[in-house]
C-alpha cells in the first residue's frame, strides 16, 4: 500500500514533461525565484560593465529606486527574464515614471544570453514597441515582450553599449 507521499510523487511524475531547461547550460538559473533572477541579472550586468565599459560602474545602493546601476554617469534600469515556453522573454515591471536614462533587458535562454539597450525616451514613446499593462486597468507597471530576433547575443555587449552611450556624450 502506497503512502500519501508516494501517491503524490507518482502522480507528479506522471504529469511532468521534458523541460527545455533540463541539462542546459543555464538551467541552474531556473531554480531561483523571479526576484532573485532579477538581482542576479543586475549584478551580472554590473560586472559586465565594469569589465568592458566603465570600471567605475556602480550599483544603486537604494534597492527599489529609480534605476539599478550607473554607467558613465547614466542611470540604467535592468530587467531580466528567462525564456518562456514560446521562445520569447517577458520583461516585467517597466515603469514610465521612473527617472532612468536607459533600459537594459537581459534575456536568459537555456543555452544563450541575450540583451538589448534602449534609451528612456524610446521606451516612454513606445518607439521600441508596445508595452502592455501588467494589470488590467492599472497604470504604472508595464510588460515588454521580446523575441530572440529583437535582442542581441551577449557577445555584442561591449559594442552595442558603447555605441549607444557614445550617442549621448
CATH of the domain at 54: 3.40.1350
Sheet with 142-147, side-by-side order of all strands:
88-94, 142-147, 132-133
- Quote the pLDDT of residue 131: 85
37 inside domain: yes
3 inside domain: no
Q: How far apart are CA 83 and CA 147, in angstroms?
A: 9
The range of the structural domain enclosing residue 25 comes to 21-167
120 inside domain: yes
DSSP for residue 102 = E
Q: How far apart are CA 90 and CA 82, in angstroms?
A: 8
10 inside domain: no
Give pTM, 2 decimals: 0.88
Residue 169 has pLDDT above 90, yes or no: no
Write out pLDDT tens, residues 79-89.
999 999 999 99
Whole-Å CA distances, 116 to 7, 130, 138, 144: 46, 15, 26, 12
The number of domains in the chain is 1
5 inside domain: no
Of the ranges 64-73, 118-127, 148-157, which is most confident? 148-157
82 close to 128: Cβ distance less than 8 angstroms = no
- Quote the pLDDT of residue 139: 61
82 close to 124: Cβ distance less than 8 angstroms = no
Q: What is the band of 18 on the pLDDT scale with cuts at 50, 70, 90?
A: confident
9 inside domain: no
153 inside domain: yes
44 inside domain: yes
Amino acid at each position: 500500500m502506497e503512502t500519501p507521499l508516494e501517491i503524490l510523487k507518482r502522480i507528479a511524475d506522471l504529469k511532468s514533461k521534458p523541460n527545455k531547461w533540463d541539462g542546459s547550460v543555464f538551467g541552474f538559473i531556473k531554480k531561483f525565484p523571479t526576484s532573485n533572477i532579477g538581482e542576479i541579472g543586475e549584478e551580472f550586468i554590473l560586472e559586465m560593465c565594469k569589465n568592458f565599459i566603465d570600471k567605475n560602474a556602480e550599483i544603486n545602493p537604494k534597492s527599489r529606486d529609480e534605476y539599478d546601476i550607473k554607467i558613465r554617469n547614466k542611470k540604467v534600469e535592468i530587467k531580466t527574464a528567462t525564456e518562456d515556453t514560446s521562445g520569447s522573454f517577458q520583461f516585467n515591471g517597466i515603469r514610465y515614471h521612473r527617472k532612468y536614462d536607459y533600459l537594459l533587458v537581459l534575456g536568459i535562454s537555456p543555452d544563450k544570453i541575450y540583451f538589448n539597450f534602449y534609451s528612456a525616451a524610446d521606451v516612454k514613446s513606445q518607439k521600441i514597441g508596445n508595452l502592455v499593462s501588467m494589470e488590467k486597468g492599472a497604470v504604472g507597471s508595464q510588460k515588454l515582450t521580446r523575441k530572440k530576433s529583437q535582442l542581441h547575443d551577449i557577445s555584442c555587449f561591449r559594442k552595442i553599449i558603447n555605441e549607444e552611450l557614445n550617442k549621448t556624450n
